[in-house]
Amino acid sequence: MLRFILVFLFSFSSVYAKGLPPIYISPDPTIEDIYFHSGNTEIIKLKEKSINLSISEVLKSKSSLSLSQSGGIAAQNQLRIRGSEANHVLVLIDGIEANDAASGSEFDFSHLFSHNFESIEILRGSYSNVHGPDAVSGVINIKTKNKNSANLTTGSNNTIIKNYSVSGENDIFQYGIDFNLLESSGTDTSGSSGDRNRYENEGIRINLKSIKHNLSLFYFDIYRQNDRNASGIVSDNENAITDINQFYSQYYYKDKISNNIFFKQGFQYTTNKNLDFSPSNGVWESLTQSEKFKTFFNAKINLSDLLKFSKNPSLSLGAEYEKINFTQLVLDQSYGNGNQNQDEYSSSFVSEFIFPYKKTQLELSVRRTINQMFDNNNSHRVGVTYKINEGKIFVNHARAFKNPTFTERYGYYPGTFNGNENLKPESIKQIEFGYFKSFFENKLNISQTYYNMKLMNEINGFTSDGNGGYTALNMTNKSYRKGLETQIEMFVNNNSKVTLKHDYVDSTQFDSTAKKQISEVRRPKNVLNLIYENNFSNHIFLSANILYSTKIKDTNFTSYPYKAVFLSDYALANARINYNLDSNHTISFIFNNIFNRKYNEVYGYNNPGFEFQMNFSRYF
């Protein structure tokens, strides 16, 4: 009853407007100038008829972010931004928080397949001031679109993807419904027997929106085979199966009280269910499930009239309430009873002041988070931007935090891992500065950002518990992340563009044995992506890229004591060709790892070689 009352109070008033990049608290996207923000924001806009089968393929072909994939299609795919952990990145799907609280509070990029991606907004850096504890090192906001089309994809590893999307509108509302069905025999992740890891993914998306209202629903039913043994080490095994169910939903209402006051209110409800089967006999072994309810209210006051100011200074205020339930059921009780039901709730209050003056803009945002389990936490972001001719320079300072996950606190895996309820939140302090500059009438654009981050109370999620097993512990010494992000975009002519993206990351933690800072695992120091796009005619569009990664440090878990290993650097060439038969029919050819380069992103896991897919699209 309480939940119903909260939903009613926060949500039933009068929300559709164009989406605002997840930078500001403001509910009004018509005033904020994203390019005057004190940071460099990367927006990957996908062409109307471009074929992008999965979110991980888009990021690997169009960004310089570091992704670690444990095998072929649907193998776990982790994204790390600025050398931080995978669960330090907040992922939004049409603004819905998608991180899985039942599985380490991270988002697995291997499961999101869709022909309806519109854009991907990438925020590097700490944004707890806007989004709370999951946005420690960055935010990925994936936007979808409503359209009418049918797609059929077939290719390597017996992969078939069927997609059907329908949309429409009347005088009252717009709607979009997508169905996506994928099945694949997969690849041999262990590389030891040739047995493939079968994968199936069924998804549905529904969107209803009017001038002031917006309702979005996503559901995924996933079947995945894994090559691992009972200890989680890579091993040929047909019984290691995970059945995953994901449901994401959001409703919001948006309006204005006057020409100077805007508000947005709504709620989100998500569930993630992970059912794991025993690698030894194929019967269900453990179940982890999270359920999250969040309600929010944001308001913005335009202060230009009040202050008699020609620019648009503004004050935004926001409030959130969030409750998460975590359930775990464990079949094997010989090591203890792992069955449990935990919950956690928190409230947040946030304010943001934006003050533009001549060529300068000041941004100040402060967030106060009150959590049931931890001390109250403050996060902030303060930045200054100065406009230059066809560009800007900026500097900002931020503080962010990350609460321990349910897995780190309560997770229980018989004979291997037992959570630690006494963990403290991780805390990050960040400073960054950079610039953006455009030359030759926007034909050449260059941006660079330097950052330095200090992480305190970093959680080591796999350390000895002193009793022959493993647990999670806060590290007593500080960890550091620093680096340089570069993007150079050049328009060769009206039809072609070349983009160079490069991330340099130096991520270290203290080693108590060596008594010094050492590099962290699965964080290549350099990732470089050279991207070429060309519309050769009204019929042919080419997108090709060469992705280069320097060597990767990882851990060999096959023997004790565990040893650090280094995986070789690699370069991958990929290409996508769209051929428009006419205005309603398109054939696409997708080539991944064209030169069949042998490489590893995670130690022991065999990645696929050359892959080919062909897609036929019909638009109506």
- Residue 365, classed as helix, strand or coil, is strand
Give strand pairing partners of 221. 202, 245
C-alpha distances in Å from residue 71, one per residue of 480, 536, 601: 29, 35, 8
Cα–Cα distance, 612 to 187 (Å, whole number): 14
Cα–Cα distance, 498 to 475 (Å, whole number): 43
pLDDT for position 391 = 96
- Residue 407, classed as helix, strand or coil, is helix
Beta strands 391-402 and 426-439: pairing type? antiparallel
Which uninterrupted H or E stretch holds 408?
helix 406-410
Q: How far is CA 586 from the centre of its chain?
A: 29
Cα–Cα distance, 523 to 85 (Å, whole number): 9
Cα–Cα distance, 247 to 429 (Å, whole number): 33
Cα–Cα distance, 342 to 410 (Å, whole number): 8
pLDDT for position 64 = 96
Q: Are 243 and 281 in contact (CB under 8 A)?
A: no
pLDDT for position 49 = 65
- Residue 162, classed as helix, strand or coil, is strand
- Residue 86, classed as helix, strand or coil, is helix
**Which stretches of 442-582 are assigned E, i.e. beta strand?**
444-456, 459-464, 470-474, 479-491, 496-511, 516-519, 526-535, 540-549, 552-556, 563-567, 570-582
Domain locations along the chain: 2-619
- Share the mean pLDDT of the chain: 90
Look at the chain and count its residues.
620
* Tokens standing for residue 369: 């988070």
* Tokens standing for residue 458: 């970093």
pLDDT for position 12 = 31
Give strand pairing partners of 608. none
Q: Running along the chain, 620 residues long, what does each successive block of 10 average in pLDDT?
A: 36 39 79 84 83 86 93 88 95 95 91 89 94 93 93 94 95 94 91 84 96 96 90 85 97 92 96 93 92 96 80 91 96 85 95 93 96 93 96 97 94 86 96 97 96 96 83 95 98 95 96 88 97 91 96 88 91 95 93 94 90 94
Q: What is the DSSP string of 176-225?
A: EEEEEEEEE----SSSSS-----EEEEEEEEEEE-SSEEEEEEEEEEEEE
Under 8 Å CB-to-CB from 310, ≥6 apart: which residues? 304
pLDDT for position 236 = 86
Residue 167's closest CA among 212, 112, 205? 205
- Residue 543, classed as helix, strand or coil, is strand
Cα–Cα distance, 168 to 160 (Å, whole number): 27
Q: Are 385 and 394 in contact (CB under 8 A)?
A: yes
Q: Are 428 and 399 in contact (CB under 8 A)?
A: yes
Q: Are 405 and 166 in contact (CB under 8 A)?
A: no
User: 29 preceded by cis ω (within 30°)?
Assistant: no
Cα–Cα distance, 54 to 201 (Å, whole number): 12
Centre a 10 Å sphere on the Cβ of residue 18 and count the other Cβ atoms it contains: 6
Output the pTM of the full model.
0.94
Homologous superfamily of domain range 2-619: TonB-dependent receptor, beta-barrel domain (2.40.170.20)
Cα–Cα distance, 448 to 467 (Å, whole number): 48
Residue 407's closest CA among 552, 234, 232, 283? 232
Rg of the chain, C-alpha, whole Å: 24
pLDDT for position 4 = 36
* Tokens standing for residue 186: 């997969």
Residue 584's closest CA among 619, 615, 616, 617? 619
- Residue 613, classed as helix, strand or coil, is strand
Under 8 Å CB-to-CB from 9, ≥6 apart: which residues? none
pLDDT for position 387 = 95
Residue 51's closest CA among 203, 191, 163, 183? 163
Under 8 Å CB-to-CB from 398, ≥6 apart: which residues? 125, 126, 127, 128, 129, 379, 380, 381, 382, 428, 429, 430, 431
Cα–Cα distance, 189 to 97 (Å, whole number): 30
Task: Provide the edge-to-edge strand list for the sheet that holds 42-45.
Answer: 42-45, 117-124, 138-144, 89-93, 96-97
Q: How far is CA 268 from the centre of its chain?
A: 17
Q: Are 55 and 142 in contact (CB under 8 A)?
A: yes
Residue 416's closest CA among 241, 209, 231? 231
Give strand pairing partners of 596. none
Tokens 């060439």 sit at which residue?
573
Q: Diameter of the chain by CA atoms? A: 74
Under 8 Å CB-to-CB from 74, ≥6 apart: which residues? 110, 111, 184, 186, 197, 199, 201, 222, 224
